[in-house]
């Protein structure tokens, strides 16, 4: 166990040494804005930092900052957290075709006012297919949120 922690710490330090020019944000911000912690607690920096440190000593936070800095704080992780946390409301808004949660999802997913209605229409059509599949009602909340996330970003869910 101690050797695994030691190896992880060395890996983190190596990443830091070789990535200093790449990192534009403060080190503390990386732990609150990136990685697993930001996905789990996008609106609570303290919980995000503790989660990142507890989970893997911040390795995923640092690597996500290096490999895809635009995904930190406000990227797809924030959208995923929003979908998971408000899935029931999103489901209702999608059924109606409008609503504050659906509007927020469109903003988080990067739709502007000109493409929003087209995006909602496509998402509703795709979502209708997903919810009509056999076994949909047997899925847990994570699986349902994952399916919706996949539709938003046109990925296999």
Structure tokens at 128: 């209708």
CA 43 to chain centre: 12
Using the 8-state DSSP alphabet, how is residue 98 labeled?
-
Q: Enumerate residues 6+ apart whose C-beta is below 8 A from 153.
A: 76, 79, 109
Structure tokens at 68: 């895809």
- 8 or 130, which is more confident? 130
Q: Enumerate residues 6+ apart whose C-beta is below 8 A from 32.
A: 38, 45, 46, 48, 49, 73
Residue 40, CB half-sphere, CA atoms under 13 Å: how many?
17
Reference 133, options 114, 151, 110; nearest CA is 151
pLDDT tens readout for residues 25-52: 566 677 777 777 777 776 777 777 777 7
Residue 154: band (very low, low, confident or very high) from pLDDT cuts 50, 70, 90:
confident
Mean pLDDT of 120-125: 95
pLDDT reported for residue 13: 47
Q: Give the helix ranges, DSSP H, for the chain.
A: 2-19, 27-33, 35-40, 45-56, 59-67, 76-85, 87-96, 100-108, 116-131, 141-152
Mean pLDDT of 106-128: 89
CA 114 to chain centre: 24
Is the confidence at residue 129, as pLDDT, over 70?
yes
pLDDT reported for residue 17: 43
Best-predicted range by mean pLDDT (26-30, 131-135, 143-147): 131-135
Percent of all residues in the chain with a pLDDT value above 70, rounded to a whole number: 65
pLDDT reported for residue 109: 82
Is the confidence at residue 23, as pLDDT, over 90?
no
Is the confidence at residue 22, as pLDDT, over 50?
no
Considering the entire predicted model, what is its pTM?
A: 0.55
């Amino acid at each position: 166990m101690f050797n695994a922690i030691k190896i992880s710490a060395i890996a983190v330090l190596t990443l830091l040494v070789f990535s200093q020019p790449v990192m534009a944000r403060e080190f503390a911000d990386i732990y609150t804005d990136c990685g697993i912690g930001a996905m789990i607690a996008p609106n609570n920096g303290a919980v995000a930092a503790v989660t990142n440190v507890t989970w893997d000593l911040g390795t995923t936070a640092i690597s996500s900052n290096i490999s895809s800095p635009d995904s930190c704080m406000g990227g797809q992780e924030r959208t995923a957290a929003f979908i998971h946390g408000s899935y029931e409301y999103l489901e209702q808004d999608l059924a109606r075709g409008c609503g504050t949660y659906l509007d927020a999802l469109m903003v988080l997913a990067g739709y502007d006012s000109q493409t929003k209605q087209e995006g909602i229409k496509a998402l509703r059509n795709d979502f209708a297919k997903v919810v009509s599949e056999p076994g949909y009602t047997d899925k847990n909340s994570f699986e349902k949120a994952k399916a919706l996330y996949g539709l938003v970003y046109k990925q296999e869910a």
